[in-house]
């Protein structure tokens, strides 16, 4: 079954993606459903999707599927029809990207996991389908305006750092499994208030809201389709947008702009900036925020030390990082000693792309 895995190196795949004129659409979807043979289901999807050039990252577990992919526009209807032919995925909502140049993924990777989102919860101890009430964008805005409503960001610190909803509680956590107990602690004594949870596409809140219901919170809601679907609805309907800044995404784009406010700063100089990047030193690969000026100064590196390594001939760089490839250092981001500036600009004074100055709200 070796043909059910990619065998081309990533550098070549990236070059191929950037050189092709093919138009692609980035989308995501998830569904909690009992899958009896995840490996067989995984192989079925890989075979069918690779034949029509689908790229992306997909997790499959006995509890369901979590997918972020990109599809060539000419194959989109073929993909959708074949997806909806799978009983438990028939009619599943496809969240399409807000800002999309078609270069979000360059490889198809489908992995079998213990869970489609790492949460370390014992699912047998509570009913995961007993989740919070789903809210569309209009209902979210209405509930967000009520005095007894608490909005909780169920994402990680590096996500909420560049964008979040107005007045949201943003736990300072590195992973989703840390977000659950952190949110519960922040909500002590609030079990009778309206608790509105949100995340990128809805999957984390599906589990988190069910957990909060299990823990005795009486009025739990979740943003249906997450930030992605919210942004689509407010844009199409002309409703008020209560999301400030960028929506962090886990693909090559690393973010899509929802509003013009910039609420974070360059980690190297402290100037307003919300552009995530990975350190060019592949042995570091730290995920951090960097402005254009610092990108030129540090050759797209996170520090002078990494700058010196990148300046070396490629064979020497390769030898230095042998056995040290770090992947996306999302957990280290913002915790590294190389990060000199990390702060959220207060809600009362965001930097606006329109004005080029502080926009008092």
pLDDT digits (tens, 9 = 90+) for 241-281: 999 999 999 998 999 999 999 999 999 999 999 999 999 98
pLDDT for residue 40 is more than 90: yes
Least confident span in 55-69, 78-92, 96-110, 162-176: 96-110
Residue 356's pLDDT band (boundaries 50, 70, 90)?
A: very low
- Mean pLDDT on 291-300: 95
Least confident span in 61-65, 74-78, 125-129: 125-129
pLDDT at 18: 61
Residue 330's pLDDT band (boundaries 50, 70, 90)?
A: very low
pLDDT for residue 294 is more than 50: yes
Which two structure tokens, joined as six digits, stand for 296? 């030129």
pTM of the model: 0.83
pLDDT for residue 358 is more than 60: no
- On the CB side of 150, CA atoms within 13 Å amount to 20
pLDDT for residue 306 is more than 50: yes
**Who has greater pLDDT, 13 or 185?**
185
Three-state DSSP string of the chain: CHHHCCCCCHHHHHHHHHHCCCCEEEEEEEEECCCCCHHHHHHHHHHHHHHCCCEEEEEEECCEEEEEEEEEHHHHHHHHHHHHCCHHHCCCCCEECCCCCCCCCCCEEEEECCCCCCCCCCHHHCCCCCCCEEECHHHHHHHHCCCCEEEEECCCHHHHCCEEECCCECCCCCCHHHHHHHHHHHCCCCCCCEEEEECCCCHHHHHHHHHHHHCCCCEEEEECCHHHHHHHHHHHHCCCCCEEEEECCCCCCCCEECCCEECCECCCCCCECCCEEECCCCCCCEEEECCHHHHHHCCCCCCHHHHHHHCCCHHHHHHHCCCCCCCCECCCCCCCCCCCCCCCCCCCEEEECCCCCEEEC
pLDDT at 346: 41
pLDDT tens profile 208-243: 999 999 999 999 999 999 999 999 999 999 999 999
**Who has greater pLDDT, 135 or 2?**
135
Residue 9: alpha-carbon gap to chain centroid: 25
At a CB cut-off of 8 Å and minimum separation 6, what does 317 contact? 281, 282, 283, 309, 310
**Who has greater pLDDT, 91 or 3?**
91
Q: Which residues are catalytic?
A: 199
**Who has greater pLDDT, 24 or 319?**
24
**Who has greater pLDDT, 310 or 80?**
80
In degrees, rounded to 5, the angle at the alpha carbon of residue 257 between the alpha carbons of residues 160 and 304 is 65
Least confident span in 6-20, 28-42, 135-149, 310-324: 6-20
Helices 176-186 & 203-214, crossing angle to 10 degrees? 40
pLDDT for residue 283 is more than 60: yes
- Mean pLDDT on 294-301: 94
Residue 361's pLDDT band (boundaries 50, 70, 90)?
A: very low
**Who has greater pLDDT, 66 or 327?**
66
Highest mean pLDDT among 11-25, 118-132, 163-177 belongs to: 163-177
pLDDT at 334: 59
pLDDT for residue 318 is more than 80: no
């Amino acid at each position: 079954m070796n043909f059910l895995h990619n065998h081309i190196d990533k550098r070549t795949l990236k070059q191929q993606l950037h050189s092709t004129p093919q138009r692609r659409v980035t989308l995501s979807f998830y569904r909690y459903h009992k899958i009896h043979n995840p490996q067989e289901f995984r192989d079925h999807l890989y075979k069918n999707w690779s034949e029509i050039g689908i790229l992306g990252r997909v997790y499959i577990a006995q509890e369901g599927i979590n997918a972020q992919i990109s599809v060539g526009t000419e194959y989109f209807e073929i993909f959708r029809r074949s997806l909806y032919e799978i009983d438990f995925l028939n009619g599943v909502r496809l969240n399409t990207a807000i800002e999309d140049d078609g270069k979000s993924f360059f490889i198809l990777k489908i992995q079998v996991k213990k869970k489609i989102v790492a949460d370390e919860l014992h699912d047998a101890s509570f009913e995961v389908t007993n989740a919070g009430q789903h809210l569309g964008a209009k209902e979210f805005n209405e509930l967000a305006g009520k005095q007894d409503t608490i909005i909780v960001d169920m994402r990680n610190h590096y996500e909420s750092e560049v964008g979040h909803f107005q007045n949201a509680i943003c736990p300072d956590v590195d992973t989703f499994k840390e977000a659950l107990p952190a949110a519960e602690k922040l909500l002590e004594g609030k079990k009778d208030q309206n608790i509105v949870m949100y995340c990128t596409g809805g999957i984390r809140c599906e589990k988190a809201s069910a957990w909060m219901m299990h823990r005795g919170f009486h009025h739990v809601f979740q943003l249906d389709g997450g930030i992605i679907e919210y942004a689509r609805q407010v844009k199409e309907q002309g409703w008020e947008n209560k999301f400030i800044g960028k929506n962090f995404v886990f693909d090559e784009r690393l973010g899509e702009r929802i509003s013009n406010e910039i609420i974070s700063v360059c980690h190297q100089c402290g100037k307003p900036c919300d552009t995530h990047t990975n350190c060019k030193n592949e042995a570091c690969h730290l995920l951090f925020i960097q402005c254009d000026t610092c990108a030129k100064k540090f050759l797209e590196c996170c520090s002078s030390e990494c700058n010196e390594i990148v300046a070396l001939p490629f064979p020497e760089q390769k030898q230095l990082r042998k056995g040290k490839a770090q992947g996306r250092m999302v957990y280290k981001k913002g915790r590294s000693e190389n990060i000199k500036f990390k702060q959220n600009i207060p809600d009362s004074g965001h930097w606006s792309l329109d004005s080029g100055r502080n926009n008092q709200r």
